[in-house]
Amino acid sequence: MKTLRVKDVDRCIGCYSCMLACARHVFRSHSIVKTAILVRTRGGLQSKWGIEICRGCTEPACAQACPTGALTPRPGGGVIFKKAKCSRCAACVDACIARVIRLDDESYPIICIQCGSCARFCPQEVLAMEEQKNV
Amino acid sequence: MFEGDFLRVLNIDLEHNTFSVRERPDLKPYLGGVGIATKLMLENAAWDEDPLSPTQPIIFAIGPLSGIFPLATKVAAVFRSPLTGEWGESYAGMRAALSLRFAGYDAVVIKGRAPKPTYLRIDREGVFFRDARGLWGLDTEETGRLLREWEPGRGHRSTWRIGPAGENGVAFAGVNVDTFRHFGRLGLGAVFGSKNLKAIVVDGTKSYPIQDPKAYNAAYEKIYTEAVKTPRMAKYHQIGTAENILRLNRSGSLPTLNLQASRFTAAEAVSGETFGAQSLTRILSCTGCPVGCIHVGIYRRPHPEGYGYISTTLAYDYEPIYALGPLLGLDTVDKVYALLDTVEATGLDVISTGVVLAWATEALTQGLITESETLLPLQFGDETGYIRAAEYLAAPPNEFYRELGRGLAQATARYGGTDFALTLGGHEMAGYHTGYAFLLGHSVGARHSHLCNAGYSFDQKHGAAFEDAALVEYLIEEEEWRNVLNSLVICLFARGIYTPEATATALGAVGVAVTPEDLKRVGREIFRLKWEVKRRLGFSLENLRVPRRYFETPSGSGPLDPERYQQLLALYRQRLSEKLGMAL
CA dist B242 and B380 (Å) reads 21
Closest C-alpha to B78, from B523, B530, B448 = B530
Our CA-based measurement puts residue A21 at a distance from the nearest CA of chain B, in whole angstroms, of 9
CA dist B528 and B533 (Å) reads 9
Rounded mean pLDDT of B349-360?
98
In this predicted structure, what is the pLDDT of residue A133? 73
Minimum Cα–Cα distance from A13: chain B residue: B284
Quick check: A44 pLDDT over 90?
Answer: no
Local structure of residue B348 (DSSP, 8 states): B
CA dist B187 and B175 (Å) reads 8
The number of helix segments (H) and strand segments (E) in chain A equals 4, 8
Our CA-based measurement puts residue B581 at a distance from the nearest CA of chain A, in whole angstroms, of 40
Local structure of residue B261 (DSSP, 8 states): B
In this predicted structure, what is the pLDDT of residue B15? 98
In this predicted structure, what is the pLDDT of residue B236? 86
In this predicted structure, what is the pLDDT of residue B577? 97
Bridge partners of B11? B20, B109
pLDDT digits (tens, 9 = 90+) for A85-114: 999 999 999 999 899 999 999 999 999 999
Closest C-alpha to B58, from B32, B36, B88 = B88
pLDDT digits (tens, 9 = 90+) for B110-168: 999 999 999 999 999 999 999 999 999 999 999 999 999 999 998 899 999 999 999 99
In this predicted structure, what is the pLDDT of residue B225? 96
pLDDT digits (tens, 9 = 90+) for B415-437: 999 999 999 999 999 999 999 99
Q: Where in chain A is the domain with CATH 3.30.70.20?
A: 1-53+113-130, 56-111
Quick check: B485 pLDDT over 60?
Answer: yes
Q: Which fold has domain A56-111?
A: Alpha-Beta Plaits (3.30.70)
Do residues B360 and B404 touch, judged by C-beta distance below 8 A? yes
Rounded mean pLDDT of B328-334?
98
Local structure of residue B164 (DSSP, 8 states): H
In this predicted structure, what is the pLDDT of residue B154? 87
CA dist B2 and A100 (Å) reads 28
Bridge partners of B302? B309
> What percent of chain B has a predicted confidence (pLDDT) above 70?
100
Do residues B145 and B134 touch, judged by C-beta distance below 8 A? no
Cα dihedral sign, B274-B275-B281-B284: negative
Q: CB-CB: which of A20, A25, A38 is closest to B155? A: A38
Q: For residue A13, which residues of chain B lie inside 8 Å, CB to CB? A: 282-285, 292
Q: CB-CB: which of B178, B220, B288 is closest to A16? A: B288
CA dist B110 and B407 (Å) reads 25
DSSP B80-144: E-TTTSSEEEEEE-TTHHHHHHHHT-SEEEEES--SS-EEEEEETTEEEEEE-TTTTT--HHHHH
CB contact (8 A) between residue A40 and residue B284: no
The count of other CB atoms within 10 Å of the CB of residue B513 is 8
pLDDT digits (tens, 9 = 90+) for B63-93: 999 999 999 999 999 999 999 999 999 999 9
Query: Burial of B77 by CB count in 10 Å (0-12 exposed, 13-18 middle, 19+ buried)?
Result: buried
Residue ranges per domain, chain B? 7-203, 231-413, 427-580
In this predicted structure, what is the pLDDT of residue A93? 97
pLDDT digits (tens, 9 = 90+) for B489-537: 999 999 999 999 999 999 999 999 999 999 999 999 999 999 999 999 9
In this predicted structure, what is the pLDDT of residue B383? 98
Mutate to test the interface with B, among A16, A38, A107 (most CBs of B within 10 A): A16
Cα A129 to the chain's mean position, in Å? 13
In this predicted structure, what is the pLDDT of residue B306? 85
Q: For residue A20, which residues of chain B lie inside 8 Å, CB to CB? A: 68, 288
In this predicted structure, what is the pLDDT of residue A43? 76
Ramachandran category for residue B198: left, alpha or beta (phi over 0 → left; psi -120 to 50 → alpha)? alpha
Minimum Cα–Cα distance from B93: chain A residue: A15
Q: For residue B154, which residues of chain A lie inside 8 Å, CB to CB? A: 40-41
Whole-number mean pLDDT of chain B? 97
CA dist A1 and A114 (Å) reads 9
In this predicted structure, what is the pLDDT of residue A134? 59
Torsion angle defined by CA atoms of residues B321, B322, B323 and B325, in that order, rounded to the nearest 10 degrees:
70
CB contact (8 A) between residue B207 and residue A30: yes
Does CATH place domain B231-413 in 1.10.569.10? yes
Rounded mean pLDDT of B372-398?
98
Do residues B24 and B15 touch, judged by C-beta distance below 8 A? no
Q: For residue A45, which residues of chain B lie inside 8 Å, CB to CB? A: 94, 178-180, 284
Our CA-based measurement puts residue A40 at a distance from the nearest CA of chain B, in whole angstroms, of 6
Sheet with strand B18-24: strands edge to edge: B18-24, B7-13, B107-111, B58-61, B75-80, B87-92
Q: Which fold has domain B427-580?
A: 1.10.599
Q: Please name the CATH architecture into which domain B7-203 falls.
A: 4-Layer Sandwich (3.60)
- Measured CB to CB, residues of chain A less than 8 Å from chain B are 13-17, 20, 24-25, 28-34, 38-41, 43-46, 104-105, 121, 123-124
Q: Please name the CATH architecture into which domain A1-53+113-130 falls.
A: 2-Layer Sandwich (3.30)
For residue B414, give the amino acid letter: R
Do residues B165 and B82 touch, judged by C-beta distance below 8 A? no
Q: For residue B209, which residues of chain A lie inside 8 Å, CB to CB? A: 28-30
Q: CB-CB: which of A14, A30, A124 is closest to B208? A: A30
Quick check: A83 pLDDT over 90?
Answer: yes
Do residues B361 and B380 touch, judged by C-beta distance below 8 A? yes
In this predicted structure, what is the pLDDT of residue B379? 98
Enumerate long-range contacts of A79-84, CB under 8 Å, 24 or more apart: A79/A54, A79/A111, A80/A113, A81/A109, A81/A111, A81/A113, A83/A108
CA dist B362 and B45 (Å) reads 38
Local structure of residue A82 (DSSP, 8 states): -
CA dist B577 and B444 (Å) reads 13
pLDDT digits (tens, 9 = 90+) for B191-242: 999 999 999 999 999 999 999 999 999 999 999 999 999 888 888 889 999 9
SS3 category, B471 = helix
Q: CB-CB: which of A15, A34, A39 is closest to B207? A: A34
Q: For residue B224, which residues of chain A lie inside 8 Å, CB to CB? A: 17, 121
A135 vs B392, more confident: B392
Q: Provide the ipTM.
A: 0.92
Minimum Cα–Cα distance from A46: chain B residue: B313
Q: For residue A32, which residues of chain B lie inside 8 Å, CB to CB? A: 98, 102, 155-156
Our CA-based measurement puts residue B9 at a distance from the nearest CA of chain A, in whole angstroms, of 20
How does residue B307 score in pLDDT terms, banded at 50, 70 and 90? confident
DSSP A12-60: -----HHHHHHHHHTS-BS-TTS-S-EEEESSSTTS-EEEE-----SS-
Do residues B263 and B249 touch, judged by C-beta distance below 8 A? yes
CB contact (8 A) between residue A28 and residue B206: no
Query: Distance of CA A11 to CAs A51, A54, B403, B579, Å?
Result: 11, 19, 46, 49
CB contact (8 A) between residue A124 and residue B180: no
The count of other CB atoms within 10 Å of the CB of residue A75 is 9
